Every structure is written in C-alpha cells, then in structure tokens.
Chain A
Amino acid sequence: MFVSNFMSYPVRTVGPDTLVPEARKIMSAASCRHLPVVDESKLLLGIITDRDIRSALPSKVVDQGEMTECLHRFETLPVKRIMTETVTCLTVEATLDDALILFEEHKVGALPVLDADNRIVGILALNDLLKAYKKLFGLGVRGSSLIVVKDNGKPHPLTRLTEILEAREVPFTRLIRTGDNDRDTLIYIRIHTHKLHAIYHALAEAGFETVAPHPISLESPGFLRRE
C-alpha cells in the first residue's frame, strides 16, 4: 500500500553543476528518464527529464557556424539551468493512492520520494505504480482468474461468497466490491482453481448471478450512451 514498497532506490542523482552531457550519459546508462538534482546534503533542488535534455540540444535547422556555437553551449550547460525546480514529491509515508492522485493531477512521469528531512530516498515512476497495481490485483498470477458476481441486494453476499469458496477449498486472493449509484454493484473475486465451472454452478445454486463480460460494441448505439 505504501509507495516505499514499490519505489526504486537508491536513486541516481546529480549535483546542480553537473554538465548536461554527463547527466545524459548517466540517464542512458541507468536507462531512466528522470534524474533528481540534489545538493551535498541530498536535499532536492529540482529534476531533469530526458525531454529537458532533448530540448536543450541544438536544433538541426541552424547553419554550420551557429551549430558549433550551440553545441559548445550545450557541452558547458549545467543541469541547474534546465532543471524543473518546482517538483511534485511524495513522502515515505505516502500510499499508492497518493501517488495515483498526483500522477493524474500533475501529468508527470515520476515522483521523487522524500524522507521527513526532505532528503531524497527513492523515486516512483509511473511504470512502478502500474506494476504495483498489477500486483495488487493479482494480474498474471498463475492459476487464477477473475469472476464477477452481481450484488443483488440479498443479505451478507460477501460472507456467503467466501463460504462457498472455502467449503470447496478454493483459494481466493482478491475480493472487491464496487458501489456505483447508477450501476449494478459488482463483486470481483480472483479465484485460484481450474474448476471454474463448479464454482459457477455453486454460485448459481446459492442464488448469485454471475456476469458475463461484454466489451463495448462500436456498432451498438450504447457505445455513446453511458448505460
């Protein structure tokens, strides 16, 4: 649940006077796209991205004389001149939910993670967040699949569901109940068995309705209407 369980650390960082070509080399060696800029005490000063570096490279349309000058400027440019100084950060106490909200709000590719003294201790890239949620949902776990049951208002649906599974010694690892006012309440369960049909039968016997998945059909008028 905490970003600290999913962030990358230790983080490769650079000082503010590191030259941009050097930073570029570090990024490609570490195959990362975000490089935090810190002072001697590891306090965060800013961040540079591969895109910042590309923008600093001389344009190909300039003439030869200008090109040489631009290249020289690039070679001697310190990262502090191109870094973004206002950086959105997470704390070590932040949860994945915090990260999701920040990523959605700020449209950034990575969020540095800071300790209580504002020193950088890790970095969470958008891809790390995706991996975290993949793990959380149990996607790709061998031998598991998701079944979807309608909550039809009868009492204690979760208790009854888990009893059915446990009575049959069927392990399950995720149980999610969604509640949306204008839609059916659905219960998602990741169960681990090859005998899915036996579970479907048992659920039907207990009065549960399972939901057959349907993608949105582009031809149907329902595509534009929210059902």
Chain B
Amino acid sequence: MPLSKTFVYISHPRYLEHDTGGGEHPESPERLEEINRRLQTLADPGRIVTQKPAPAARSWIMRIHSEDYLLRFEETALAGLGYFGHPDNQLGYDTYEIALLAAGAGLSGIDLAEQEPAAAIFCGVRPPGHHAEKAMALGFCFLNNIAIAARYWQEKYGRRRLAIIDFDAHHGNGIQAAFEESPEVFYLSIHEHPTFSFPGTGYAEEHGVGSGLGTTMNIPLLPGAGDREVARAFTRRVEPALADFRPEALIIGAGFDGHRLDDMSGLAYSSALYRFLGQRIAALAERHCEGRLITILEGGYHLPSLGESFSEYCSGLRQSS
C-alpha cells in the first residue's frame, strides 16, 4: 500500500473561542474539537503536520469586504451586542480577531501549497465564510475566507485562473457574488436546491454576469439527493468544465452538512462520498494545477458525521494517484 501524502492541518486554538452563545447554535466550537480528535486517528500519523496561521492583513480582507463593513463588524463584536445583522450570526467579544485568524488560514495554506504542492492541505477554521458578502454577514459567516484566499493567490502569486469547488450543502452566495463578473475565477457549487434551502440562491440558471458569463456553475440537487447524484454531477459537469477552464490552482469549500444525518440540509450523502470527492479533487489538482490545492472548512454540524466525513475526505485527498 502506497504511503499517504503529507497532510498539513492549518488551524488555531483560538478558533474555539468564537462564541456563538452556546445552547442550540449549530456552529459550535465542538465542531473543531471533533475534527481535532479525528485528526489523531488519520493514517500515517508521522506524515501529519499541524500549523498555526497568522491573522490575515486587513488589506487582503478589504479585497473582498468594504471598510465600513469591517468597522461595523469590529464594533458589534466589541460592544457585546450578541449578533451581527441577523440573530443567526451570533458573535462574542473576540469574534472579529478570530475571524481575521480564520481568513489567515487560507493565506498560510496558499504559501505552503506554492512551496509544497505535493502536500494535502486542510484549513480547519471557524467562523465559516462562504455566505458572507461584501457588506453583509449571513448564515454564521462574517468574512469570506475562500474569496479572500482566492484574491491572495491571484495577486501574491500571479495565479490568475482559479477554480473554487464548493461542496457544502448550501450555496456559497458570497463567493459567487465576489466573482460572478470575473472570467478568471470559476465558482462551481453543488448544493441543495435554493427553492427549498438556505440561502435561496444558486439556481442552475445563474451562469455568471458580464465578462464572467460561463465561469459560475451551480448544480442544485433536490432534497433527498445522495452519493449517486453528486458522483454523476462531478463526473459529467465539474470535471469536464475544469478540463475546459484549465485552472492554475484549486480552492475547495468543504462543508460536510450534506451528510444524511446532518439536519441542516435535506441532502442524504454518506460519509464515503467525501472520500470519493477527496480523491477526485486531488486528481483534478494534479491533472490541471501541478497539485496546487487547498481546502477550507465551511459547514458540517452533526458532530459524529462531521468527524467521519472529514477523515474520509482527508483520506481521499491523500490517496490520489
């Protein structure tokens, strides 16, 4: 049996301090504790490295978010107002700083992917990011970690053509909004159909805007859809689209809330699906991008399934070819 690839887990203990009020809030610190526990059980422990990120510089955050929004975000956190914009988006005194650290994980991951494209890199962050828009917190998200990382990769390393594959159960409206006019960033998302699911965006008919027409691909699945539907969509839609687009680097939005036991969506994926996705994604990165690939955590709220799906995904990532 071939050795697994080196696995780099980028995370920070302070992510556990983002306080969503406890109680019933699904986006809890226990999510990362579960992942940290699973990390100990991954294969080839000698080839697992953990790394702490630095906070993202404000200038990188401002490539995606407005200054006024950042000020309001910081003020709301420091004032102890409990939530930002909508009761879903609960926060605590430290949330602003922690969100900068969460955005920083992607940037550290990219630095590493440029040095060691053969490593499998996973950023285990919270708060999540893909629903956050330029000036709006939404769906537990404050800063759009993936969109910020994409800009960083483009501008720091000149990798202009990027693809973002988002397999969270929900549409990443914030990522789409950031890049729908850009022909250089291809956003592909597989999610539960927006008529029945949060955030109500990501219809198949949205293909991008203006010169970005054709570099947005939404693949909505009906409630109840499972492994077969995702595998089919990946093979028939995602892989051919990327073969045409020829990205120079790949960013993955890894949400595990499509799992059948996760009640944050009506999708019915099994844990094994995430291994399939890990393998196919690593193969795509090798085929098109010389291995330049990072993965950033989004959702996933049913703790045992989150842990199991995470380890399946990582095994898939490390296994390819």
Contacts and interface: CB of A to CB of B under 8 A. Distances in A.
By Cβ-Cβ distance, the 3 closest A-B pairs, closest first, are A197-B263, A194-B139, A144-B200
Given A195-B88, A213-B223, A145 B263 contact: no
A139 to B, nearest CB: 7
Nearest to A146: B195
A169 B194 contact: no
Contacts of A144: 198-200
State the main secondary structure of chain A at its contact with B: loop
B86 interface: yes
Given A212-B223, A213-B222, A215-B222, A140 B266 contact: no
A150 interface: no
B224 interface: yes
A139 B200 contact: yes
Interface of B: 24-26, 86-88, 131, 133, 136, 138-140, 170, 173, 194-201, 203, 222-224, 263-264, 266
Interface in A177-227: 192-198, 200, 212-213, 215
Contacts of A169: 87
Nearest to A169: B87
Nearest to A139: B200
B139 A145 contact: no
Nearest to A198: B24
Given A145-B194, A196-B264, A212-B266, A140 B87 contact: no
A141 B200 contact: yes
B200 A142 contact: yes
Contact of B138 (A142, A145, A195, A213): A142
A195 B26 contact: yes
Interface in A118-150: 138-147
Contacts of B24: 195, 198
A196 B200 contact: no
A195 B87 CA distance: 10
Contacts of A197: 26, 263-264
Nearest to B192: A145
A171 B86 CA distance: 9
A141 to B, nearest CB: 6
Most buried by A among B25, B87, B170: B87
A144 B201 CA distance: 9
B116 to A, nearest CB: 35
A148 to B, nearest CB: 9
A117 B173 CA distance: 47
A21 B88 CA distance: 58
Contacts of A140: 194, 200-201, 203
Contacts of B263: 197, 200
Given A143-B86, A145-B199, A213-B195, 6 more contacts: A140-B200, A143-B131, A143-B200, A193-B87, A193-B88, A195-B25
A47 B66 CA distance: 47
Contacts of B223: 212-213
Given A142-B138, A215-B222, A196 B198 contact: yes
Contacts of A194: 88, 131, 138-140, 170, 198-199, 264
Nearest to A215: B222
Contacts of B140: 194
9 contacts: A139-B200, A140-B194, A140-B200, A140-B201, A142-B201, A145-B197, A194-B199, A195-B25, A200-B263
A37 B203 CA distance: 39
A141 B170 CA distance: 15
Contact of A142 (B136, B197, B264): B136
